[in-house]
A = this chain, B = another copy of it.
Amino acid sequence: MSEIHHDAVGIGNAIVDVIANADEAFLIRHGLAKGGMTLIDEARAESLYAAMAAGIESSGGSAANTIAALASLGGTGGFIGKVRDDTLGKVFAHDIRAGGIAYVTAPATDGKATARCLIFVTPDAQRTMQTFLGASIDLGPDDIQPEMIAQASYTYLEGYLWDPPECKKAFLKAAKIAHDAGRKVALSLSDAFCVERHRADFLDLVTDHVDVLFANEAEITSLFQAPNFDEALQKVRGRVGLAALTRSEKGSVIVAGDDVHVVDAIRQDRLVDTTGAGDAYAAGFLFGLARGRTVVESARIGGLAAAEVISHFGARPKTPLRDLLARHPV
């Protein structure tokens, strides 16, 4: 087995977020499904952007956020995802590399622009996302770097990646490389609407290719079409080796083989924007596991990372998480 260079390598959509406040009436007026992520085309992105309040732009993308938070914790990470060679693509590449993350995916030189996600934050701090996938969907099997995957403790995949057809092949190629090298594969279900779109595929994936599953309450109940969280929890047991099920302010439930651990959330009184909370949790959990911590300790690190990210606008940490972890040891 070759040397380990990364705690985790993420594969996902390479997206620049545009975040602005919106009220509930705005969501209704524009027919936006609150709390979810909807795929839109460039024309719809333009018209929604025109109606949107003044915003801030920052690099995003679910798996990319996770790797950024993992690096902020002091972990070593890599990322694979596609941008176009335009202004936003340069911003994305700059930001991920500035975090010390290995990122060498070649940008597309023609075709669609770098992906954008319009994020509407309502007064309750919930985010509603409208994503134009742009150049992201050009990620294919050729972009998977076998050495990077083989040398990472965890290969982390976002469920969103299942939307663009070529990305599935990239995803399965990476999972095979990881397992052949004796590494683990983690998957986030990403979003309940995403689960709706790909339920059958995701059930097969979870059973056959995934060692660590991340899901929130809505996603896991949707996956198993369960009437409630407890029934979904029973279906997870035995089906996947390790699952981290997040429940917002109720913390998380870890299913590790036959064991179930309930882990409290870290209290955060300053709730501003929940964008990236699940991504940050996954970062803390994977960082803990990769560094030999117990699953419960890893879940607590996940909770600490999530608490930081929801205290401000934007999906990536603003305070170095390694400092936060040093001040609040787990």
Contacts and interface: CB of A to CB of B under 8 A. Distances in A.
Interface stretch (A85-93, A177-185, A209-217): A85-93
A55 B94 CA distance: 9
A72 B318 CA distance: 26
Nearest to A91: B57
Interface stretch (A46-54, A127-135, A166-174, A234-242): A46-54
Contacts of A95: 54-55
Nearest to A46: B90
Interface in A56-110: 56-59, 68, 86-88, 91, 94-96, 98-99
A21 interface: yes
A95 B318 CA distance: 23
Contacts of A91: 57
Nearest to A113: B87
A192 B87 CA distance: 32
Nearest to A98: B54
A6 interface: no
A54 B64 CA distance: 13
Contacts of A98: 20, 52-55
Contact of A99 (B54, B68, B88, B94): B54
Interface residues of A, number: 27
A59 B68 contact: no
A94 B58 contact: no
B56 A57 contact: yes
A87 B114 CA distance: 11
A36 to B, nearest CB: 23
A313 interface: yes
Nearest to A54: B95
A56 B21 contact: no
B54 A316 contact: yes
A261 to B, nearest CB: 33
Nearest to A57: B57
Contacts of A20: 98
Contacts of A49: 94
Interface in A191-216: none
Given A86-B87, A88-B87, A54 B59 contact: yes
Nearest to A68: B54
Nearest to A20: B98
Contacts of A303: none
Contacts of A57: 56-58, 91
A322 interface: no
Contacts of A86: 87
Nearest to A16: B57
Contacts of A21: 318
